[in-house]
Amino acid sequence: MNILNPEGDRISTTGSNSDSKKCDRPSILQYNTYSPLKESYSMYITIYSDGASRRNPGPAGAGAVLLDEQGNVLNKVCKYLGETTNNQAEYQAAILGLETALEMGATRVQLRADSELMVKQLLGQYRVKKPELKPLYDQVKSLLNQFESYAPPQHVRRADNALADAEANRAIDEYTP
């Protein structure tokens, strides 16, 4: 996995012998501004997630931005997904953000996304009709249940999800030949 700083420079590499700036597929680009929890207090993280697909289906990426209670960015992650639909990419982005929050030691989370479909499905307001979304839906629900508590997922305007959108598109841009 290649780990990049906010300027896009590689700061360490594991699992790859490549010296190029372009990452191997499928990897997760990540940089952290947090330090792992060493004290025993609960950590609340807000996760903004977004999936992007060029064409539908087409080359896709997932992005997530994790914020602390004061709104400071703790972590940004993105992952190239290969060929998939936009709705699948939205769920993959939520999964990426939730897994990252667990790795960071979060005990409480709220997921925010601009996919009205995904949010309403997670809230039980819409049924999951597409068979290819059901396992992703189940995985998001399972991940949410691994936290001590979580706030209901929240739909946000696209403009309020710009950082996560940028990460999802960055994944596509950096992996697409």
Residue boundaries of the structural domains of the chain: 2-175
Please, which pLDDT band fits residue 17 given cuts at 50, 70 and 90?
very low
What's the confidence (pLDDT) of residue 29? 57
Tell me the CATH architecture of domain 2-175: 2-Layer Sandwich (3.30)
Please, which pLDDT band fits residue 176 given cuts at 50, 70 and 90?
low
| CA dihedral angle for residue 53, residue 113, residue 44, residue 104, rounded to 10 degrees | -10
Instruction: Assess contact for 73 and 8: CB atoms under 8 A.
Output: no
What's the confidence (pLDDT) of residue 100? 96
What's the confidence (pLDDT) of residue 175? 86
pLDDT in tens, 157-171: 999 999 999 999 999
Higher pLDDT, 158 or 5: 158
pLDDT in tens, 74-127: 999 999 999 999 999 999 999 999 999 999 999 999 999 999 999 999 999 999
Provide the angle, in degrees to the nearest 10, between the axes of the packed helices 134-144 and 86-104: 20
Q: Of 96, 50, 42, 105, which Cα lies nearest the Cα of 69?
A: 42
Instruction: Assess contact for 87 and 115: CB atoms under 8 A.
Output: yes
Give the contacts of 142 (CB within 8 A, at least 6 positions apart).
none
Q: Rg of the chain's alpha carbons, rounded to an integer?
A: 16
